[in-house]
Structure 1
Amino acid sequence: MGAMAAKGTPAVNAAKAAGLSFRLLEYDYDPSADAIGLHAAAALGLDPAVVYKTLIVQLEPKALACAVIPVAAKLDLKAIAAAAGAKKADMADVALAERTTGYTVGGISPLGQRKALPTFIDASAEALSEMVVNGGRRGLQIALAPADLARATKATVRPIAVG
């Protein structure tokens, strides 16, 4: 298997299939890092403001959604619940998030999930020419235009992050 084949994660394949312009960024994933996204930004020499993490949330009643927020921020659970038209939201169970997306935690991408979830991107992304999200495995990030990510994931862009 060549180096390029190894990078063909479902996220990368989804970006290619959608005709997106993107760059792949690789770094040495550190499983002991407290904040995976901040570690990725530092390892890649990127401003954390352009690196986004993908969180899977459990909505009440019974539904999941995908939130894409800056790595240094926290998810505003009330804001994502309101954006999704749900009563409330909590972080999804890790096993459920992994089973639903087909990715392992630390490698969950908003692109190419096994089951396409309603996706919400924090409005801070609108100010960026390029944002960086997980590429579908630990240590792989994908850089692309926020508008392209929103289009490819049919995302709603709303202020859903705090801090």
Structure 2
Amino acid sequence: MIKGKTNAMRLLDKHKISYELHTYEAKEAMDGVTVASKIGRCKEMVFKTLVTRGSSQTIYVFVIPVEKELDLKKAAKVVKEKKIEMILVSEINALTGYVRGGCSPIGMKKNYQTVIDESAQTLPSFIVSGGKIGLQIEVNPHDLVNIIPLQFASLVVEND
């Protein structure tokens, strides 16, 4: 099981934001739909954290439902960049303090501008990585507004 608190948990505790932990067995990163199944939650509640770099070299964090794909053009428009692209997997730890598959939008090394898909606004709570593989945090997305620079916007590729 998970030993010790992650940066995400420490930050939530510091700001007295209530959250629920969900743990699952995992030796390595796995896709979010599998994670949702392992913790017994519907996939619409579970969100993944994607770290990107804009043409200005600014780092941005996007949080979207696990079964969806980030629309890079929509994302770039929201953060007023000409274009954005995913960072290299090898850069995740240095930029965020987290590892691939355990990257939480909460408690990163720096407070990067964060955009959560608008679908989270209708949920009483959503689930994101808790900062380690095998750990998820369920929290009200609106409670995060005061601890990370975030906004809500339409971010995902719409399937016809």
TM-score (norm 2): 0.93
Counterpart of 2:147 in 1: which secondary structure? helix
1:24 and 1:32 mapped to 2: Cα distance?
A: 18
Partner of 1:136: 131
Contact 2:114 2:150 in 1 (8 A): yes
Sequence identity (%)? 32
Q: CA deviation at 1:19?
A: 1.4
Contact 1:150 1:157 in 2 (8 A): no
Residue type at the aligned position of 1:31: E
C-alpha RMSD of the superposition: 1.5
Partner of 1:121: 116
Matched, 1:66 2:61: yes
2:90 and 2:65 mapped to 1: Cα distance?
A: 23
Which of 75, 79, 89 matches 1:80?
75
2:70 and 2:36 mapped to 1: Cα distance?
A: 18
1:101 and 1:32 mapped to 2: Cα distance?
A: 16
Contact 2:54 2:85 in 1 (8 A): yes
Output aligned runs, 1:4-43, within 5 Å: 6-29=3-26, 31=28, 33=30, 35=31, 37-43=32-38
Where structure 1 has 5 or more consecutive residues not aligned to the other structure, the ranges are none
Contact 2:116 2:151 in 1 (8 A): yes
More strand by share: 1
Contact 1:55 1:67 in 2 (8 A): yes
Shift >3 Å, 4+ stretches: none
Where structure 2 has 5 or more consecutive residues not aligned to the other structure, the ranges are none
TM-score (norm 1): 0.91
Say how many residue pairs are matched: 158
Counterpart of 1:129 in 2: which secondary structure? coil
1:95 and 1:115 mapped to 2: Cα distance?
A: 17
Q: CA deviation at 1:96?
A: 1.7
